[in-house]
Structure 1
């Protein structure tokens, strides 16, 4: 999620996931088995975040969204887009546009740091729209949210995401109580999703989360592991198939510098925010090839396992602009985006911007256009 209603960035979210893990034409709906090796990866996609943006220059734009979805379909050759973030109208308009362009929609509302009732209402209203699209014949899967223990107040102590992460890292958590609270809210969210949506229901969990997957039709996992051999990924992912349900990789990705894959979800943590403007820490070497190789390698793994879907994280991160003229201020190094945002006026928060493809974009486009390892 690029932003929640209080401006929590996706980078901070990823930091929490990694840290806690270290500590402990419209398309028809179609069925899928847990694995189907004859078909390879069933749906190939990318995450598209619809948050409000952290600056006036990166605010949500309907015109930009439409152009981005066209690029996702025609340039990236994805057949699926994960529409995520907060703001029901942004979610609805983006999901509708994606469906009208013939893309399959994985719709996932992610309102955070709000009262439980508001989060559940946000899920319900978004789910009703997913159901409306499904009834019109669109291919839609609905996820009730992402890693609730980080975003939903009251599960882990803390008034916001960062405070909850600090409490988890310090051990200031009653783990059994946290799991009971997480289970309770997850069940409530699933019930709300079922009440408004009649298609396949899912949830995006962290790799080590304990989830009652009997509540859902599709197992959803945010996956950020780095292994030297593909067989290690296969072995790790197989445990998510034990429920006999389709497996969707709701996020996978890395940053574009040497060593980023090994940093996993902490790959973003390379910025010194005490500096004005913020600076990249250390002497990192930009490597778009590193990011591209990691993504394509994982797609090969997902293809070999016949998974249901995989969505690369993420299409664009406008609040982490690329500065080719100033490597020390190249915040794109901390981005998991497959494109690089470039501002017309780098020092002006109101500046317009555009994106340009990274090597990962081109590599994924080739891979998505040529599924199951076929030669072009």
Structure 2
């Protein structure tokens, strides 16, 4: 992901470090109403009836190199593949850059996909983040009035990406401050609550459809501000139903705004820390620990979780993510196969593996095919 949280690598890395630091500091802990729904439909408490929205996260951003940056032609081909080949009915368009986000959302709507638009400008002044949200929200409202299926998420894990909540100018500085104990948890929570309320108010002021927010597990969020409870779900608990049931007490639709794992044996047990198997101090970066690539592991994990979400009647689930362009697959070279540490359901392959500016294309992983089979049953 990018240093502004818009690409896949930095966002996954930052999220993982943040969750580890938050857990260690005791910053996590959702506050839910006392009366919670039982396993079953997250909206009504009735027996599960499957997911309404089945999709994938599609990240737009500037990329680490011009060759991996957002490109209109590549985006259009990707959206076609999401609709036609993955058989998704929903796409979570996320990242930063109003032009990139709105062009991608428009293409998805044109292809008949339900759009979950989530601007995630990070490491910028709060006023800029809110204006970025407002511009995207206005566009989402135009799409909605034209008859497109669209929902607006006001952002993702604010205390990680928004300056002024946790001390630190960048994501990594904020994570370090969480880990070393220099952040006051009560002050952090007050600031988070205040900014979340501001973001919700901005969203409401420009968009008349369903409003949501993508929270990390155990974030303390006032979900009365939103129409949909959104959770980025990366835990590996023994009982997913029990873990997820606690979000149902708000009596609102529950959306899994991200879920996934990396592509090596044992990755699900790493949860949100799956990315940490890369040694970026090496040039070129190397995979640590003699890992065994396993596309089957990722595919099985995603489909198993999908079965849980369906059985509970959750509203939506978006696999993270469609593509991580800056983590190329190196067949036959496990030491440098950075794609193993990616959560994507496709693998980028360079025409010339040793050339970082080589042309490239993506190929579907086993997880892509597994999700496509599941999604096709209900499309």
Q: For residue 11 of structure 1, what is the aligned residue in structure 2? A: 12
Partner residue in 2 for 1:101 = 111
Partner of 1:163: 173
**Contact 1:2/1:50 (CA < 8 Å) preserved in 2?**
no
Distance 1:254 1:339 in 2: 13
1:222-301 mapped onto 2 (5 Å cutoff): 222-228=232-238, 232-301=239-308
**Offset at residue 340 of structure 1 (A):** 0.4
- Residues 1:34 and 1:200: Cα distance change in structure 2 (over 3 Å): farther
Secondary structure at the counterpart of residue 9 of structure 1: helix
CA distance in 2, matches of 1:328, 1:35: 48
For residues 306 and 317 of structure 1, what CA distance do their matches in structure 2 show? Answer: 29
- SS, match of residue 82 in structure 1: strand
- 1:184 CA drift (Å): 0.6
Q: Say which SS state the counterpart of residue 58 (structure 2) adopts.
A: strand
Q: Distance in 2 between matches of 1:240 and 1:174?
A: 26
Is 1:86 the counterpart of 2:93 in the alignment?
no
Q: For residues 138-149 of structure 1, what are the structure 2 equivalents within 5 Å?
A: 138-149=148-159
Q: TM-score, normalised by structure 2?
A: 0.92
Q: Which residue of 1 aligns with 2:29?
A: none
Query: Which ranges of structure 2 fall in alignment gaps of 5 or more residues?
Result: 27-41
- Quote the offset at 1:371 in angstroms: 4.3
Cα distance in 1, alignment partners of residues 307 and 2 from structure 2: 27
Residue 29 (structure 1) aligns with: none
Equivalent-residue separation in structure 2 for 1:37 and 1:121 (angstroms): 41
Cα shift at 1:3 = 5.4
TM-score (norm 1): 0.93
Equivalent residues, number? 362
Q: Distance in 2 between matches of 1:87 and 1:338?
A: 24
Query: Alpha-carbon deviation of 1:347?
Result: 2.9
Q: Distance in 1 between matches of 2:234 and 2:164?
A: 26
Counterparts in 2 of 1:169 and 1:237: CA distance versus 1, 3 Å: same
The answer to whether structure 1 residue 221 and structure 2 residue 228 are counterparts is no
1:236-270 deviations in Å (ceiling 9; x for gaps): 10110100000000000000101100100100001
Residue 109 and residue 156 in structure 1: after superposition, are their counterparts in 2 closer, same or farther (change >3 A)?
A: same
Change (3 A) 1:343 1:210: same
Superposed displacement of residue 39, structure 1? 3.2
CA gap 1:38/1:328 in 2 versus in 1, 3 angstroms: closer
In the alignment, does 2:322 pair up with 1:321?
A: no
Q: Map 1:3-82; keep pairs closer than 5 Å.
A: 4=4, 9-23=10-24, 24=26, 33-34=43-44, 37=47, 39-82=49-92
1:347 has 2:354 as partner: yes
Partner residue of 2:138 out of 105, 123, 128:
128
Cα distance, 1:220 vs. partner? 0.3
Query: 1-side partners of 2:115 and 2:221: how far apart?
Result: 23
Q: Is the 8 A contact 2:48 2:314 kept in 1?
A: no
- Distance in 2 separating the partners of 1:39 and 1:126: 32
Rounded Cα–Cα distance in structure 2 between residues aligned with 1:260 and 1:65: 28
Cα distance in 2 for partners of 1:109, 1:313 equals 16
> C-alpha distance in 2, partners of 1:296/1:5?
27
Q: CA deviation at 1:350?
A: 2.2
Q: Identify the residue that residue 119 of structure 1 maps to in structure 2.
A: 129
Shift of 1:53: 0.5
Work out whether residues 6 and 121 of structure 2, in 8 Å CA contact, stay in contact via their aligned partners in 1. Answer: no
Q: Which moved more, 1:284-293 or 1:343-352?
A: 343-352
* Structure 1 residue 49: Cα displacement: 0.1
Q: Which residue of 2 aligns with 1:28?
A: none
- More off after superposition, 344-353 vs 210-219: 344-353
Q: Could you tell me how far apart the structure 2 residues matched to 1:75 and 1:3 are?
A: 31
**C-alpha distance 3-306 of structure 1, shift in aligned 2 (>3 A):** farther
Query: Once the two structures are superposed, what CA deviation does each residue of 1:274-327 show, in whole Å capped at 9, x if it has no partner?
Result: 111111111101111100000000100000011110000000000000001311
SS in structure 1 opposite 2:51? Answer: coil
Range moving further from structure 2, 37-46 or 185-194: 37-46
Conservation of the 8 A alpha-carbon contact between 2:43 and 2:254:
no
